Amino acid sequence: MSAEADEGPVTKLVYAILLSALRKCATDLAVRRVDGRPRVDFVIGGAEIEEMRPPLLLHQPLVRKLAVMASLPTYAKGECAEGTITLRLADDREASFAIRVEGHGDTLAAYLHVLSGSARPGGAA
């Protein structure tokens, strides 16, 4: 993550979302549109909680950045792609997320499941 400082605002926001999910012990997160508005939701303790509402113009770039981080191929509109994102955290710890990207245009969405990791020192790696 040391390269994060050299990245643009979309990349910084993606890292902030993923780290927030780890800090809050979320098991799942979604970047999608709800009622036409972009939303980032976390599942914490079995309950879905709205984390943030990014600007409309950032919705597709956020989902695309997550797809790039998972090295997902580009599929035809509406097809689903699945993969894994691994983040390097401090003290040689890592966090892993399973990701599924689906839809296109207004239905473009990314769904992530935390496989391992913690943003807290001493957490699972």
Rounded CA gap, 72 and 85, in Å? 10
The model's pLDDT over 24-78, given as tens digits with 9 standing for 90+, comes to 999 999 999 999 899 999 999 999 999 999 999 999 999 999 999 999 987 666 6
User: What's the pLDDT at 100?
Assistant: 95
The model's pLDDT over 85-108, given as tens digits with 9 standing for 90+, comes to 999 988 788 999 999 999 888 889
Class of domain 2-116: alpha beta
Is the distance from CB of 23 to CB of 119 less than 8 angstroms?
yes
Is the distance from CB of 117 to CB of 124 less than 8 angstroms?
yes
Domain segments of the chain as ranges:
2-116
Q: State the pTM of this model.
A: 0.84
